[in-house]
Amino acid sequence: MATSRLLSSRALPSLGPKPPLRLPQTRPPHRGRYHSTKHDTLRSLLKVSPEVADAVATNKPVVALESTIYTHGALGDDLLLEDIVRRHGAVPAVCGILDGVPSVGLGVSEVARMVSEGARKASRRDLAYVVGTGRTGPKLHAGTTIAGTMVLARLAGIRVFGTGGLGGVHQGGHNSLDISADLTELGRTRMAVVSAGCKGFLDIPRTLEFLETHGAMVSTFADGRKGDVDFPAFWARESGTKSPFVVQDESQAAAIILAQEQLGIESGMLFANPIPEEHAIPRAEMEEVIRVAVREADEKGFTGSRNTPYVLTRIRQLTKERSVTSNKYLVQANVARAAKVAVELSKLLDGSPASSDSSHTIQIPSQSTFVPEMKNEPVAAEKQPTHPVDVLVAGSVALDLACDYSGPHGQTAVSPALHTSNPASITQTVGGVGHNVALAAHYLSEEGRVRLCSLVGDDIAGSTILTSLAASGLDTSYIRRLGHEYPSTRTAQYVSVNDTHKSLVLAMADMAIFSQHSFPTFWASAVAASAPKWLVLDANWAAADMPAWLRAARQCGARVAYEPVSMEKAKRLFNRESQLGVWPKQSVDVATPNQGELGAMYEAAREGGFLEAGAWWEVVDGFGIHGGARERFVQVVGRGLADEGVAVQAMQLLPYVPTVCAKLGARGVLVAMVLGEGDWRLRDPEQARWIVARGGVGGESGGCI
């Protein structure tokens, strides 16, 4: 059982030794972020588009696309692959090298430049040459092959890649060693590649054997077929060679990808997607065409890198362009399936925060991890740190403008006039409830033991805030900056109009960025990586997001302090989705409302049925409150607070929030709390006057207020 007590603001007893008072000091800038030479070097090389970077950071589905299909393909520029990815709910990420810069998320105009100006073909071996040459000589363009795309996509944190046909072991490759780099890349780079198998003119059995030797998982989508199915042969649905594994659908594929990641296996996965039946060329017909094309290539000496182009050209001629049409449809089908797999994987990751790939994936922050970088600007999260902190504050940061009315010289009016311009002294500061709490804790903590998780926009106010926070030394690794692709992404701002005594006349607050954007996976990863002792949660987040924050805190064992912010926002804690635990398994440990916010929380709990739950009644009954409780409230807190209902409201909330610190302005602070069995204050005579009631055996265990 438990005992509770109410402490008045006029005689607040000591609850233990006080820490030494530490005043804010001038500190050197401290960013508290993870730094690594490898990461910084990569950041200077790899460009990730804002959309792709944001999608990776927030667990939106992303599909990598190669650029050689545009720069060196023969399918035209009307493939609409990016549109197909978007239609199926994912973000496309075309990879390539533009002006010597390896890029992920190339736009249509950028790809068009590569095509019109000429581009090399870049596999793994070519990447360093093309990028390095751009530092001292011409800045080259290069379309990335499957292997090259896998490298860049992996560096950017992408998990799924949709393409046409995989390279493989060429006929006679066991003697010539003519083996595509795509295969060795699958053996060393964890990426889920969706393709229509490998080109049908390759040695498919030896290709599969090579992939097995290098540890690459190979499976084929069943598409309703039962039992064993053939590994596809690009233009044909069957190859005569059984697939090593079979997957039934996209959700099973996603589960395999996640398992590979959680097991820490670094090799890739090939998900073969047979060409749609209506666009396939019959196997027997295709095999004869391939036989002729391959024989001619051998007779004419087309070997090595010259072999595949020649064979593809002859196949195109011999099939009277049917192979090209089939190729186009199979690529589109692969990309659509890759998007579906990415969507299913995103769902699994949302339900499994611990599966984030932070130990293996190098995230690129500048364009990225949380928005496009602005020149000479401190950017959030160069690398999301994983060292634990004492306090993680999840709340608002805002640009505050205080307008203090000065009045014309000699005028006696203390307040500004309405409907006209008034002379004023205007000051700009960084504020916001979350920021203020974090900064105060930062000044009282060891270096780097406090972290702020918040949102800002890609605007001047956001830049001002990030600059200020960097100067203060507060760890901003989890301040996420939203780009213009999001609606309502203005950095939060608060404007107050004050009279000549600096008392508030009117205030306006724009905090929509917090209530209109939800990133539960991002928040869960912030809490998990920070492993805080305390999560301080302010009520600026939308009501629907409260459960996500509380769930994340529970999963890492953090205690939770709730700052209600305002009367209206205070109610957000008590929403039906919160599933709040009750003492001693409470979801929230401390709340700090003012008197109005306390009343709002009480009304929200009452109207939401929280004060009728069986678990709530068990705790309240344990307090042992019976007749005459009001007189005891009067003795402890005074008749005024008792008559205003402050004590009763605090008591009614204690099962859900076992410590309530009600701020009463000039009257001080009223603290109500549940004391557990064995708490020293239950036995201390000096504390007896503050114990409102006791319950349980022997008068030392039980509860009341």
- Residues labelled catalytic: 66, 199
Q: Which helix (H) or strand (E) holds 210?
A: helix 204-213
Closest CA to 86 of 52, 48, 113: 52
**One-letter amino acid of 161:** F
User: What does the block give as tokens for 483?
Assistant: 């780009």
Contacts of 500 (CB under 8 A, 6+ apart): 404, 405, 406, 407, 414, 415
HSE-CB for 580 with a 13 A CA cutoff: 28
Q: DSSP letter at 687?
A: G
Q: Which residue has the tokens 């540890």?
A: 215
Q: State the SS3 of 499-552.
A: CCCCCEEEEEEECHHHHCCCCHHHHHHHHHHHCCCEEEEECCCCHHHHHHHHHH
β strands within 148-203, DSSP E = 160-162, 192-195
Which one, of 65, 133, 66, 148, lies nearest residue 100 by Cα? 133
Q: Which tokens sit at 282?
A: 């019959």
Integer Cα distance of 587 and 616 in angstroms: 13
How far, in Å, CA of 515 to CA of 543, rounded?
A: 8
Instruction: Give residues with Cβ within 8 angstroms of 608, minimum separation 6.
Output: 574, 575, 576
Phi, psi of 329 (to 5 degrees): -70, -35
Count of residues making up the chain: 705
HEC sequence for 15-70: CCCCCCCCCCCCCCCCCCCCCCHHHHHHHHHCEECHHHHHHHHCCCCEEEECCHHH
From the number of C-beta atoms within 10 Å of its C-beta (0-12, 13-18, 19+), residue 655 rates as: buried
Q: Rounded CA gap, 644 and 290, in Å?
A: 89
Start-to-end CA span in the chain (Å): 13
Give the H or E element holding residue 592: none
338 contacts 162 by C-beta, under 8 angstroms: yes
- For residue 425, give the nearest of 404, 454, 444, 409 by alpha carbon: 404
Task: Give Cα 411 distance to the centre of its chain.
Answer: 54
Task: List the structure tokens of 199.
Answer: 């080109």
Residue 591, beta-bridge partner list: 562, 660
CA gyration radius, the chain: 32
Phi and psi dihedrals of 505, rounded to 5? Answer: -100, -45
